[in-house]
Amino acid sequence: MIDSETFRSVLGRFASGVTIVTARDDAGTDHGMTVSAFCSLSLEPPMVLVCIDHAASMHELLLQHPRFGVSILSSEQEGFSRRFATEDAERFDGIAYSRGECGVVLLNEAVAHLECEVSQHHDAGDHTIFLARVERAEPREGGRPLLYYRGGYAQLER
């Protein structure tokens, strides 16, 4: 069995995009967190998966409120990624955003937006894998994606 340091080092060599996942609670309060464990799952029907740590503030929220938004961050939004990775209660202050059709926050200037509804969830180690149907998706023009690679942020050069 490999140790966690080696495992982290190996997986750090897999570049991933960076997203902000958002949801609303019963009181209408917005919640959001930085997520890099996100990927496409199916084209027919359109589905994605997102993995959330059991200890994350949004874990229980997604179990009870199955609709969520995904903003795929642009390289200009590294600061947002850092902000939403902390436990700051004022994460949305001063950030330009719109609301999706289901009311979730979608960050302006992101390279793409998705609105999703959880269809299944499965515990896996210290995370839960949320499988979700994509109800709405919008590619945005311009901008380059923000990437996470070897423990830091990177940009795609094309």
Segment 97-133, tens digit of pLDDT: 999 999 999 999 999 999 999 999 999 999 999 999 9
Per-domain boundaries in the chain: 4-155
Q: By three-state DSSP, how is residue 75 classified?
A: helix
What pLDDT does 149 receive?
A: 82
Q: 158 or 40: which carries more pLDDT confidence?
A: 40
For domain 4-155, the CATH class is mainly beta
pLDDT for the residue 158:
63
Segment 73-87, tens digit of pLDDT:
999 999 999 999 988
Of the CA atoms within 13 Å of residue 35, those in its CB half-sphere come to 29
Residue 90, token pair as written in the block: 């004022």
Split at pLDDT 50, 70, 90, the class of 49 is very high
Spatial separation of the C-alpha atoms in residues 90 and 102, rounded to whole Å? 22
